[in-house]
Amino acid sequence: MPELPEVEICARELSAHLRGQTIRRIETPDNKIHLPRDLAGCRIKEIDRRGKFIIVQLEDERRILIHLGMTGWFVFRPPSKYRLALEVNDGAAYFEDPRRFGKVRLVSAAQQEQLLAELGPEPLAPGFNLRHLKRTGRPIKVALQDQHLVAGVGNMYASEALWRAHIHPKRPADRLADDELRRLRKSIVYVLRKAIAYGPQIYEVQRFTVYRRKGEPCHRCQTPIERLVLGGRSAYFCPQCQRFDRGSPRT
């Protein structure tokens, strides 16, 4: 599933192609997507991201809110199949989504604020920290994937950040020491920025340190990577570099 880096890359690409352009035509071959025809003639003012959502802000203050789902992505040449086409003065953007879990809806500014109000803090925003995770006793990887606690981080980058921070994914979040939380914060920021830097070819060029590498050697100590299931999702880790210790009780 696209996480913060992939959504950020997609939003930047959309902004480069569509920002400041006027919508000429909207095509929605998929009956799960409904956008009014009166969007034709609207100018695209800004394109931003919040968590895993792309926000296309129109000049009339309405927004097209996009969640990429499991397999969503935008391309700028007509693919064989697409769920949405946004044609503008100078080109078009096509929403590919083979599994059709992505969502596109038109909302007002007030509706957008309400829909996104419960998202957690942005990991790349100034002042981001993880002190609020002290309030949950869930495994740290499960807590990181909760969009109410941290916006945009999912299965892939939670595993990658925990490996970099030397923290076992099963550790209770409320048992992490302050220095561990600071180290984890830095690790999250590092892995997200590194992924964003890959750009539009991220799926082709990115290589993970632990994610989906079960049985392969750890890049630090050569111990085989292991996998466990937490909260219904896979967690990949190095049993040597990320030893399990419940840690000290919360103070």
45, 175, 227, 233: which is the annotated catalytic residue? 233
Q: Could you confirm whether 126 is annotated as catalytic?
A: no
The Cα 54–Cα 66 span in angstroms is 5
3, 6, 8, 160: which is the annotated catalytic residue? 3
H-helix or E-strand containing 93? Answer: strand 91-96
2, 5, 123, 172: which is the annotated catalytic residue? 2
Which residues neighbour 168 within 8 Å (Cβ) at sequence distance 6 or greater?
Answer: 140, 162, 237, 242, 243, 244, 245
- DSSP conformational letter for 223: P
- Residue 116: alpha-carbon gap to chain centroid: 14
Q: Could you confirm whether 246 is annotated as catalytic?
A: no
49, 52, 62, 170: which is the annotated catalytic residue? 52
Q: Could you confirm whether 233 is annotated as catalytic?
A: yes
Closest residue by Cα to residue 100 from 58, 68, 148 = 68
Q: Could you confirm whether 2 is annotated as catalytic?
A: yes
Tokens 């995770």 sit on residue: 133
Catalytic residues: 2-3, 52, 233
